[in-house]
Amino acid sequence: MKPTLLLLAAGMGSRYGGLKQLDGLGPNGETIMDYSIYDAIKAGFGKIVFVIRKDFEQEFRDKVLSKYEGHVPAELCFQSLDALPEGFSCPEGRVKPWGTNHAVLMAKDVINEPFCVINCDDFYNRDAYMVMGKFLSELPEGSKNAYAMVGFRVGNTLSENGTVARGICSTDESGNLTTVVERTEIMRVDGPVCYKDEEGNWVAVDDNTPVSMNMWGFTPDYFEHSEAYFKEFLSDPKNMENPKAEFFIPLMVNKLIGEQTATVRVLDTTSKWFGVTYSADRQSVVDKIKSLVDAGVYPAKLF
């Protein structure tokens, strides 16, 4: 069974401004999502599923979904604040979405095969899809609790226009993830890559340190784990009282690893990530895509 690509597209780009998922950056107005889907098809993925907000469904169908007809089956599902388990209701005044793992949960009724989760506004590059597609397609039928994450080398994931947030990963001798710690400020400081720790100090890390770019590989049993833990998350008063508390994928993954319920293989990639974190990044991304088209990596018109 071919794996599915799950694209998280419900968020607005707060630092970038506007609905950056629909920003045309390629020579014929292609979005970053278009390149992700093109690469995924090349890597053997058989279906795409988008998680979006209901309020831009029509614009999304018109501008995005229509272009993939005849190329790959596509489905939509929706993330909303009130999409909660029975017995729970959204706290009054909450406006922030419930986070990336809540977005993943929205797809539980349409995905029945191994799947890869990505952000819509990150350009992961083809090798990342190849290594993830190979891992997922080679899983034994009915496989459970054997997941994966593409570990990008931190030096390949920086912005020239400010700090970035990345999940710094540690692995064991088998190449399995042991922890992923979210660092919200990472940049080069006088040469080496550094992150700012809890005390405000810059800590240097090797350029090849694996980081999470939210490119995960799961099997459908992950939905069951997530549903159970989301109820725990919502049952904790500090999460319900905090209007910014979010149910992130690394939170779920760390729990499963800590309990030894699941393993997460860290897949190495030579891919160089790029994306639009800041509005000043936009022209750099346009230029990088153009150079890939000029080099023949992508056709001028994808779909």
User: pLDDT by residue (tens digit) across 170-201?
Assistant: 999 999 999 888 898 999 999 999 999 999 99
What pLDDT is stored for residue 16 in this prediction? 45
What pLDDT is stored for residue 15 in this prediction? 44
Would the pLDDT of 63 be above 90?
A: no
* pLDDT level of residue 289 (50, 70, 90 thresholds): very high
What pLDDT is stored for residue 182 in this prediction? 83
* pLDDT level of residue 17 (50, 70, 90 thresholds): very low
* Structure-token pair, residue 197: 């720790």
**Nearest CA to 121 among 36, 245, 4, 17?**
36
Whether the full predicted model's pTM is greater than 0.75, yes or no, is: yes
Would the pLDDT of 222 be above 90?
A: yes
What pLDDT is stored for residue 246 in this prediction? 92
* pLDDT level of residue 20 (50, 70, 90 thresholds): low
To which H or E segment does residue 195 belong? strand 193-196
Q: How far is CA 188 from the centre of its chain?
A: 23
Q: Tell me how long the chain is.
A: 303
Phi-psi region of 133 (alpha: psi -120 to 50; beta: other; left: phi over 0): alpha
What pLDDT is stored for residue 168 in this prediction? 92
If you average pLDDT over residues 101-106, what whole number do you get?
97
Q: Cα(116)–Cα(172) distance, rounded to whole angstroms?
A: 22
Contact (Cβ atoms closer than 8 angstroms) between residue 247 and residue 99: yes
To which H or E segment does residue 167 belong? strand 164-171
If you average pLDDT over residues 135-160, what whole number do you get?
94
What pLDDT is stored for residue 21 in this prediction? 58
* pLDDT level of residue 14 (50, 70, 90 thresholds): very low
Q: Cα(74)–Cα(33) distance, rounded to whole angstroms?
A: 13
3 state SS of 281: helix
Query: What mean pLDDT is reported for the chain?
Result: 91
> Greater confidence, 182 or 51?
51
Would the pLDDT of 23 be above 90?
A: no
Pairing of strands 193-196, 115-119: unpaired
| Highest mean pLDDT pick, 64-73, 94-103, 152-161, 220-229 | 220-229
Would the pLDDT of 118 be above 90?
A: yes
Q: What is the DSSP string of 94-149?
A: --S---HHHHHHTTTTT--S-EEEEETTEE--HHHHHHHHHHHHTSPTT--SEEEE
CA end-to-end span of the chain: 24
> Greater confidence, 121 or 266?
266
What pLDDT is stored for residue 274 in this prediction? 85
What pLDDT is stored for residue 1 in this prediction? 83
Residues contacting residue 288 through CB under 8 Å, at least 6 positions apart: 123, 274
* pLDDT level of residue 10 (50, 70, 90 thresholds): confident
What pLDDT is stored for residue 12 in this prediction? 45
